Chains A and B, each alone.
Chain A
């Protein structure tokens, strides 16, 4: 289907994009890679009067080291994240997760900023950024602010971004020594979206016990969220198979479970526990081999 007619602007600076957004009274939509927005425009679920394409703003894409982590520009594509030597070396979780998103053509256009600002409850990168202790930088008429990933996702397709703000970059923590990560998902065979996805970042202490666990879950509830029950069950323990399996039982604690024709609530809960167990096992295995 054709989208409803709209005006189109392609500003070359973030300031200009914010001005256009403000002038539209927050009615305009920001376009990055377009892989969330275009399908919505075509289904006419979104009918904005104005589309602001931020794809031509120089400096909004790319990866660099910053403050003990990686700064990733909002319009960096999933393919660029998957291929980035910096990401592979310092935050391999993001690279692994990017490889799971959609398909090759989707990854060539879809952006990290787009997926986070959209807040789809079955997206992959949302869980990865949560587990990587990440945050996003947003810019609005009153300047810039940082939103921790933990506070970003409020509900289905609803984020903490104000209607007049633009997400400009993402920051994630570097995976330090004795730290391993993994993203595991059970995908919807047709769409590739997560029915249950779990991202884990585990740091082991010198004695082999879990010094820090950050686990995030996507696809099962109305938003991606930290699995604090799982994290607490691993903290300070030796991460053997039994402990991991017991911890994974907490996977959907506090999650507002969703059920649909692809998987009802109890099946999603079951999948979440299995996927959590596999994700943690892999992350622990990697942490153990990293000095």
Chain B
């Protein structure tokens, strides 16, 4: 039997009828058309599907859409405000934190979770925080630099990291 779910995604309200077995990642991609959230391993390891749910990073391949009912989701599409990149996105740009870009949406959302918990992380803390995100291209070095860049930027201009 299907169920009606109501939730907010990137500040917009949605109401949809879904099957209980529908994963949050498929809901975002196939029902809402928000394909910025990627899916790769499908086994809770790679982090490509990471989104924010009620303010915390989650792997959307390991959550049912019905579990998100009544909640608040933010995807990579919700990071920029009024066409202006989020400091994290800018940091990945400045520091060449991506190559193919497949892992990037997940990396950004995990980094957002990190900077919320710890606005001034050391390189070591960044690596630990991104343990749940795999990248097959960059060797991680530039991703760490990108997150550091964003942390500096957000310290200098605190309003920059606040979406909406």
Contact = CB atoms under 8 A, between A and B. Distances in A.
A8 B63 CA distance: 13
Given A2-B21, A7-B1, A38 B131 contact: no
How many chain B residues sit at the interface, stated as a range, is 20 to 34
B20 interface: yes
Contact of B58 (A4, A108, A192): A108
A225 B40 CA distance: 36
Interface string A37-48: 011011000000
A6 B59 CA distance: 21
Interface stretch (A98-106, A129-137, A170-178): A98-106
Given A2-B21, A8-B3, A190-B45, A79 B56 contact: yes
A256 B58 CA distance: 35
Interface string A1-39: 111111110100000000000000000000100110011
Contact of A191 (B42, B45, B50, B57): B45
A113 interface: no
Contacts of B66: 8, 10, 53
A212 interface: no
Interface string B50-83: 1000001111001110110100000000000000
A242 to B, nearest CB: 33
Contacts of A238: none
A51 B63 CA distance: 13
B21 A105 contact: no
B117 to A, nearest CB: 8
B64 A104 contact: no
A42 to B, nearest CB: 7
Interface string A186-213: 0000111000000000000000000000
Contact of B63 (A7, A10, A38): A38
B62 A104 contact: no
Nearest to A42: B42
Nearest to B50: A105
Contacts of B64: 8, 31, 34, 38
Contacts, number: 76
Interface residues of A, number: 30
A7 B132 contact: no
B104 to A, nearest CB: 16
Contacts of B69: 10
A44 to B, nearest CB: 11
B67 A104 contact: no
Contacts of A41: 21
A103 B110 CA distance: 10
Contacts of A5: 19-21
A88 to B, nearest CB: 15
Nearest to A190: B45
Interface hub of A7, A10, A34, A108 (most chain B Cβ within 10 A): A108
A121 interface: no
Nearest to B106: A105
A237 interface: no
B135 interface: no
A105 B67 contact: no
B145 interface: no
A38 B21 contact: no
Contacts of B19: 5
Contacts of A38: 44, 62-64
B47 interface: yes
Contact of A109 (B1, B23, B45, B58): B58
Contacts of A2: 21, 23
Contacts of B59: 105-106, 109
10 contacts: A8-B3, A38-B44, A39-B44, A42-B42, A53-B66, A79-B56, A105-B47, A105-B113, A109-B62, A192-B131
Interface of A: 1-8, 10, 31, 34-35, 38-39, 41-42, 51, 53, 55, 79, 102-106, 108-109, 190-192
Interface of B: 1, 3, 19-21, 23, 42-45, 47, 50, 56-59, 62-64, 66-67, 69, 110, 113-114, 129, 131-133
